[in-house]
Structure 1
Amino acid sequence: MRFMVIVKANPETENGQMPTAEELTDMGNFNEELVKAGVMLAGDGLYPSAQGARVRFDDKGATTVIDGPFTEAKELIAGYWIWELPALADAVEWLKKAPFQGGEVEIRQIHGPEAFEGVLTDEHKAQEDRLREQITQQTSQ
């Protein structure tokens, strides 16, 4: 199973405050453990919402662009990981080892093909396989 581990923003991250050298070292060491264990597939920090945008779609497909910053830092994301583990409980155990002081982190399972059983056609599956292969080729270059 794949999981998105969502690191919540706070007023400091929304103000663009970067981690200290010590915090970067601690997180780098934690990430190294995750990679060596074959858990971490991806992960990055995000710029503050002031440098982002939201696109809202109405019921007819028309769009409205809303520029950041966005209110309620606690509802925003400061960073993420993509982990692969057998179960949510395993992701929770790994996250307990993360070098955080305060804050909140959310773990959500990522849909796999099994979630779309009965809806996913052979054509959909072929397209998905083709896209994943293209992504793999692009990231390995």
Structure 2
Amino acid sequence: MTLNAGVREPDEALYAEMGRFVDEMSRAGVLIATGGLAMEGSHVTASGGKITVVDGPYPETKETIVSFAVIETASKDEAIEISRRFWAIQGDGEGDIRQVYGPE
């Protein structure tokens, strides 16, 4: 999530509302994992057999991913609807929806 001007600042009401949403998604078996990510890290690029590592934090912090949620849905449309519900609670910001591939 990217925080920009106009973003709803965390307060007790936000924490309570988000807590209810997370609880609902967890009980329904939709929410698999959530977490925050450190601003520091390393960006790895491979090109033409050369590996380049750049350590963060990065100057374009507005493009840094700072949290994640893994959900299990039956369709992309369902994932989008859950995202709409999240942003209705959180307020302004940005996020990506991506499919995770792995063992079933």
Quick check: TM above 0.5?
A: yes
Structure number with greater Rg is 1
State the AA in 2 paired with 1:73. T
Deviations 1:107-136 (A, max 9, x none): 112235xxxxxxxxxxxxxxx68xxxxxxx
Secondary structure in structure 2 of the residue aligned to 1:109? coil
Q: Name the CA distance, whole Å, in 2 between partners of 1:71 and 1:10.
A: 15
Name the residue aligned to 1:111.
Answer: 101
% same residue: 31
Name the residue aligned to 1:68.
Answer: 56
1:56 aligns with 2:14: no
Please report how far the alpha carbon of residue 35 of structure 1 lies from its aligned counterpart in structure 2 after TM superposition.
Answer: 0.5
Name the residue aligned to 1:42.
Answer: 33
Please report how far the alpha carbon of residue 85 of structure 1 lies from its aligned counterpart in structure 2 after TM superposition.
Answer: 0.8
State the AA in 2 paired with 1:42. A
Name the residue aligned to 1:9.
Answer: 2
Q: 1:56 to 1:30 in 2, by over 3 A?
A: same
Q: 1:58 to 1:34 in 2, by over 3 A?
A: same
Q: Name the CA distance, whole Å, in 2 between partners of 1:84 and 1:74.
A: 27
State the AA in 1 paired with 2:101. H
Give TM-score, length-normalised by structure 2: 0.75
State the AA in 2 paired with 1:52. G
Q: Name the CA distance, whole Å, in 2 between partners of 1:27 and 1:59.
A: 45
Name the residue aligned to 2:84.
Answer: 96
Compute the RMSD of aligned alpha carbons. Answer: 2.5
Please report how far the alpha carbon of residue 96 of structure 1 lies from its aligned counterpart in structure 2 after TM superposition.
Answer: 1.6
Task: State whether residues 10 and 73 of structure 1, in contact with CA within 8 Å, keep that contact through their aligned partners in structure 2.
Answer: no
Secondary structure in structure 2 of the residue aligned to 1:82? strand
State the AA in 2 paired with 1:110. V
Please report how far the alpha carbon of residue 19 of structure 1 lies from its aligned counterpart in structure 2 after TM superposition.
Answer: 4.1
Give TM-score, length-normalised by structure 1: 0.58
Q: 1:90 to 1:74 in 2, by over 3 A?
A: same
Note the residue ranges of structure 1 that are not aligned, 5 or more in a row.
1-7, 13-17, 113-127, 130-141
